[in-house]
């Protein structure tokens, strides 16, 4: 499938805050996350991209259609985008079904809406159709908002911190839903978040923002490869491995580089239908990885990955990051103290066993 | 028709209702865009506009009436301008002049409830409607108006009732021409001046009952049409 590009350079002066994106050229496939702290301008950029703020200046085009040229702009309605807002933004005076119909009724003659029953079923709002908006939970509202956007058959789906107002359970369910939708609909997504966990779960490509400007655009794997990645917070370095889910009852297992990893049965998705996805991401905190020179057997830790030390990176006075490489070239970090590194005589090329507790892994 | 043995004068009553109805229509048509503009205004000019709109609340009606009388004088700019658009006759001491005066006099009663209703509508709902391909007027009709319906009802009833109850402006601008500018409040004043207390009693009692009914209607509607935004 041909990849459409979103390219341009946008400025938007809000008085107290100014967006000055700099030139960008983003291939739109999979999930592109706009990441940055609050106040970094990610929402402003998304509003400028979607045409919601008329004060926007600059250049913007998507799939070779001009969306903005100087002050001239194509109205939001004609940009073929779907938008999911932080707090769903459902119309409180309409029922769920009327909310879903709102956009369908306004589609131009030549454009057919998506298959209503199919979308409603897939997003999990079929049983809510005749409800009043006031009686929906946070997760349900966000599902309705997603369905409402998808029914317009958009060419680009914009999501502005769609999970930030939700509790952890709803958040986990919706993350799974978004992953599945992205894969099955082949719809490019522009996704805003300040939560590194969401980036690690969803992103293919990460746009890092600070002070109203785009700082960098990198694939997730590359961004996570940097020892000083902006994604690392108080929990330290994080790695994401692409794995293949295995069919098994009870314990969930995945394969990576011809080795098997055991994952905790997720509490959030218990009872939910099994994921249909081809690839599954496993998120590992560097501080949860123990290194051993030989394979210990009498130990409760059940994941023992064979890996090669690729690089030692000094972090601070007492710890360092060990970059480990698997047979399939995927890398991940382990965080150890200088003392331990010396004791084990860690050096590039050394084959080690990386021990990771099952419960420390999350998908 | 007689009530309690007193002949009811219908002319001032009909005239009052007619002028109040016209004023209400004009106020809703002009007040809606003004209130919307003010509700979405972020600059500090908003303070000045709010104060200007609220002025009739604190100004003695005679002051407002005096300025309107000056502004609408037969050789003045307002009358001249209107005559270009084909308006014949004078504004002072006429029905048209009364409606213009009433529009100024009741402006805060239309604009304030509308503005407050508009202010409670979150921008993101309008943004959401825009991403669902609704044009501005479409968004206004299908999102703003239903969510602000309480504001519209309050604005309409209060403008109407307040216009019915005006006196000072009417006296200054309209005078006391039977069938043309003699509204109920003027009629009552007239009766009292001529010591016709029975007539004054009857009209006053009718006004009292009417005002109470209108206010109860407003508060009743407010309860019934409560809209939850969120």
CATH number of the domain that A306 lies in? 2.40.50.100
Examine the domain organization and report whether A209 and A269 are in the same domain: no
Q: Which of B122, B133, B147 is opposite residue A106, by nearest beta carbon?
A: B133
Name chain B contacts of A86, Cβ cutoff 8 Å.
Answer: 124
CB A215 within 8 A of CB A208: yes
Q: Which of A52, A106, A108 is opposite residue B127, by nearest beta carbon?
A: A52
- How many angstroms separate the CA atoms of A72 and A54, rounded? 9
Q: Domain with A90 in it: what CATH number?
A: 3.40.50.300
Q: Do B131 and A92 touch (CB under 8 A)?
A: no
Q: Which of A136-145, A311-320, B67-76, B96-105 has the lowest mean pLDDT?
A: B67-76
**What is the average per-residue pLDDT within B38-61?**
88
Name chain A contacts of B147, Cβ cutoff 8 Å.
Answer: 92-93
- How many angstroms separate the CA atoms of B81 and B74, rounded? 11
**What is the average per-residue pLDDT within B181-185?**
83
Which range scores top for mean pLDDT: A71-80, A154-163, A229-238, B61-70? A154-163
**What is the average per-residue pLDDT within A33-37?**
93
Q: pLDDT tens-digit profile of A175-225?
A: 989 988 988 888 999 999 999 999 999 999 999 999 999 999 999 989 998
Mean pLDDT for chain A overall: 89
Question: 10 Å Cβ neighbour count for A206?
Answer: 29
Mean pLDDT for chain B overall: 86
Q: What is the ipTM, given to two decimal places?
A: 0.83
DSSP SS3 for A131: coil
A290 Cβ contact partners less than 8 Å away, ≥ 6 residues apart: A301, A334, A354, A355, A356
Examine the domain organization and report whether A110 and A244 are in the same domain: no
Q: How far is A297 from chain B (nearest CA, A)?
A: 56
Q: Is 70 exceeded by the pLDDT of residue A273?
A: no
Question: How many structural domains comprise chain A?
Answer: 2
Residue of chain A with shortest Cα separation from B133:
A77
Q: Which of A4-8, A179-183, A321-325 has the lowest mean pLDDT?
A: A179-183
* Enclosing H/E stretch for A221: helix A220-225
Give pLDDT, residue B92: 74
Residue of chain A with shortest Cα separation from B143:
A91
Give pLDDT, residue A268: 42
Give pLDDT, residue A23: 93
Residue of chain B with shortest Cα separation from A98:
B142
Q: Is 70 exceeded by the pLDDT of residue A127?
A: yes
Q: Which of A41-45, A81-85, A110-114, B36-40 has the lowest mean pLDDT?
A: A110-114
Decide if A188 is inside a domain: yes
Q: Which of A12-16, A226-230, A243-247 has the lowest mean pLDDT?
A: A243-247
Q: How far is A236 from chain B (nearest CA, A)?
A: 36
Interface of B with A (CB under 8 A): 122, 124-125, 127-135, 138, 142-143, 146-147, 227-230
**What is the average per-residue pLDDT within B176-182?**
77
Q: Is 90 exceeded by the pLDDT of residue B12?
A: no
Please indicate whether residue A291 or residue B173 has the higher confidence score (pLDDT).
A291
Examine the domain organization and report whether A349 and A259 are in the same domain: yes
Examine the domain organization and report whether A209 and A257 are in the same domain: no
Give pLDDT, residue A116: 92
Q: Do B130 and A52 touch (CB under 8 A)?
A: yes
- How many angstroms separate the CA atoms of A136 and A143, rounded? 10
The DSSP code for B6 is E
**What is the average per-residue pLDDT within A308-320?**
88
Q: pLDDT tens-digit profile of A241-272?
A: 988 887 655 557 888 888 888 888 654 444 44
Count Cβ–Cβ pairs < 8 Å, chain A vs chain B: 64
Q: Do B146 and A93 touch (CB under 8 A)?
A: yes
- Top-level class of domain B11-183: mainly alpha
Give pLDDT, residue A318: 85
Q: List the one residue out of A300, A214, A163, A174 whose CA is nearest residue A42.
A: A214
- Strand A31-35 versus strand A189-193 pairing type: parallel
Q: Which of B124, B138, B142 is opposite residue A89, by nearest beta carbon?
A: B124
User: How many helices (H) and strands (E) are present in chain B, helices listed first?
Assistant: 12, 2
Decide if A15 is inside a domain: yes
Examine the domain organization and report whether A177 and A300 are in the same domain: no
Q: Is 90 exceeded by the pLDDT of residue A309?
A: yes
**What is the average per-residue pLDDT within B18-34?**
94
Residue of chain B with shortest Cα separation from A108:
B133
Q: Which of B132, B143, B229 is opposite residue A152, by nearest beta carbon?
A: B132
Q: Do B146 and A107 touch (CB under 8 A)?
A: no
Name chain A contacts of B133, Cβ cutoff 8 Å.
Answer: 77-78, 103, 106-108, 152
Give pLDDT, residue A266: 55
Domain encompassing residue A22: 4-225
Interface of A with B (CB under 8 A): 47, 50-52, 75-78, 81-83, 85-87, 89-93, 102-103, 106-108, 134, 148-149, 152, 158
**What is the average per-residue pLDDT within B47-68?**
88
Examine the domain organization and report whether A200 and A286 are in the same domain: no
Give pLDDT, residue A81: 93
* Enclosing H/E stretch for A43: helix A42-50
Q: What percent of chain A has pLDDT over 70?
A: 94
CB A307 within 8 A of CB A355: no
**What is the average per-residue pLDDT within A102-108?**
92
Q: For testing the chain A interface, which of B40, B42, B131, B143 should be mutated: the one with the most A CBs within 10 Å?
A: B131
Examine the domain organization and report whether A183 and A319 are in the same domain: no
Residue of chain B with shortest Cα separation from A77:
B133
Decide if A232 is inside a domain: no
Examine the domain organization and report whether A56 and A150 are in the same domain: yes
Q: How far is A99 from chain B (nearest CA, A)?
A: 10
Examine the domain organization and report whether A49 and A179 are in the same domain: yes
Residue of chain A with shortest Cα separation from B122:
A89
Examine the domain organization and report whether A41 and A155 are in the same domain: yes
Examine the domain organization and report whether A69 and A210 are in the same domain: yes
Give pLDDT, residue A35: 94
Displacement of CA A184 from its chain's centroid (Å) = 16
Question: 10 Å Cβ neighbour count for A360?
Answer: 15
Q: Which residue among A171, A194, A225 closes a domain?
A: A225
Decide if A312 is inside a domain: yes
Residue of chain B with shortest Cα separation from A153:
B132
Please indicate whether residue B5 or residue A131 has the higher confidence score (pLDDT).
A131
The DSSP code for B143 is I
Q: Do B124 and A91 touch (CB under 8 A)?
A: no
- How many angstroms separate the CA atoms of B61 and B98, rounded? 13
Q: Do A76 and B130 touch (CB under 8 A)?
A: yes
Q: pLDDT tens-digit profile of A184-198?
A: 888 999 999 999 999
Q: How far is A201 from chain B (nearest CA, A)?
A: 26
Q: How far is A342 from chain B (nearest CA, A)?
A: 57
Q: Do A148 and B132 touch (CB under 8 A)?
A: yes
**What is the average per-residue pLDDT within A275-302?**
86
Name chain A contacts of B146, Cβ cutoff 8 Å.
Answer: 93
Examine the domain organization and report whether A149 and A264 are in the same domain: no
Give pLDDT, residue A147: 95
Query: A30: phi > 0 → left, psi -120 to 50 → alpha, else beta; which?
Result: left
Please indicate whether residue B14 or residue B218 has the higher confidence score (pLDDT).
B14
**What is the average per-residue pLDDT within A102-131?**
90
**What is the average per-residue pLDDT within B195-219?**
86
């Amino acid at each position: 499938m041909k990849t459409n590009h979103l390219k341009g350079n946008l400025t938007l002066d809000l008085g107290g805050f100014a967006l000055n994106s700099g030139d960008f050229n983003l291939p739109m496939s999979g999930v592109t996350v706009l990441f940055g702290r609050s106040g970094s301008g990610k929402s402003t950029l998304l509003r400028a991209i979607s045409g919601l703020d008329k004060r926007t200046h600059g250049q913007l085009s998507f799939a070779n259609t001009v969306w903005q040229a100087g002050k001239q702009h194509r109205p939001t309605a004609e940009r073929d985008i779907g938008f999911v807002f932080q707090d769903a933004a459902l119309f409180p005076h309409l029922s769920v079904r009327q909310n879903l119909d709102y956009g369908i009724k306004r589609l131009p003659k030549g454009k057919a809406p998506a298959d209503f029953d199919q979308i409603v079923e897939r997003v999990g709002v079929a049983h809510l159709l005749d409800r009043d908006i006031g009686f929906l939970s946070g997760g349900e509202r966000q599902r309705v908002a997603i369905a409402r956007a998808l029914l317009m058959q958009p060419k680009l789906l914009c999501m502005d911190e769609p999970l930030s107002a939700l509790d952890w359970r709803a958040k986990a369910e919706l993350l799974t839903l978004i992953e599945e939708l992205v894969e099955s609909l082949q719809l490019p997504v522009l996704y805003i978040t300040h939560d590194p966990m969401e980036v690690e779960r969803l992103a293919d490509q990460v746009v890092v923002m600070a002070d109203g400007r785009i700082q960098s655009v990198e694939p997730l794997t590359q961004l996570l490869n940097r020892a000083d990645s902006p994604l690392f917070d108080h929990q330290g370095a994080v790695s994401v491995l692409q794995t293949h889910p295995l069919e098994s009852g009870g314990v969930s297992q995945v394969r990576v580089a011809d080795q098997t990893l055991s994952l905790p049965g997720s509490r959030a998705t218990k009872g939910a239908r099994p994921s249909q996805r081809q690839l599954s991401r496993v998120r590992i905190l560097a501080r949860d990885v123990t290194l051993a020179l030989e394979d210990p057997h009498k130990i409760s830790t059940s994941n023992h990955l064979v890996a090669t030390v690729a690089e030692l990176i000094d972090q601070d006075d007492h710890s360092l990051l060990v970059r480990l490489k698997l047979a399939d070239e995927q890398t991940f970090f382990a965080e150890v103290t200088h003392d331990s590194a010396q004791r084990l005589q860690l050096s590039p090329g050394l084959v080690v066993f990386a021990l990771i507790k099952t419960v420390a892994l999350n998908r | 028709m007689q009530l309690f043995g007193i002949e009811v004068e219908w002319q001032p009553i009909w005239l009052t209702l007619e002028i109040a109805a016209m004023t209400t229509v004009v106020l809703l048509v002009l007040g809606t865009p003004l209130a919307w503009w003010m509700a979405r205004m972020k600059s500090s000019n908003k303070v000045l506009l709010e104060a200007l709109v609220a002025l009739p609340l604190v100004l003695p009606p005679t002051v407002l009436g005096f300025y309107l009388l000056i502004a609408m004088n037969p050789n003045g700019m307002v009358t001249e301008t209107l005559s270009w658009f084909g308006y014949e006759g004078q504004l002072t001491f006429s029905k048209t002049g009364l409606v213009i005066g009433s529009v100024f006099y009741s402006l805060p009663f239309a604009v304030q409830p509308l503005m407050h209703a508009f202010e409670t509508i979150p921008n993101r709902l309008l943004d959401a409607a825009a991403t669902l391909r609704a044009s501005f007027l479409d968004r206004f009709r299908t999102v703003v108006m239903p969510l602000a319906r309480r504001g519209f009802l309050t604005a309409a009833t209060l403008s109407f009732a307040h216009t019915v109850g005006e006196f000072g402006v009417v006296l200054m601008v309209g005078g006391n021409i039977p069938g043309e500018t003699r509204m109920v409040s003027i009629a009552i004043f007239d009766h009292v001046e001529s010591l016709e207390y029975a007539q004054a009693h009857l009209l006053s009692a009718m006004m009292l009952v009417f005002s109470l009914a209108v206010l109860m209607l407003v508060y009743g509607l407010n309860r019934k049409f409560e809209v939850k935004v969120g």
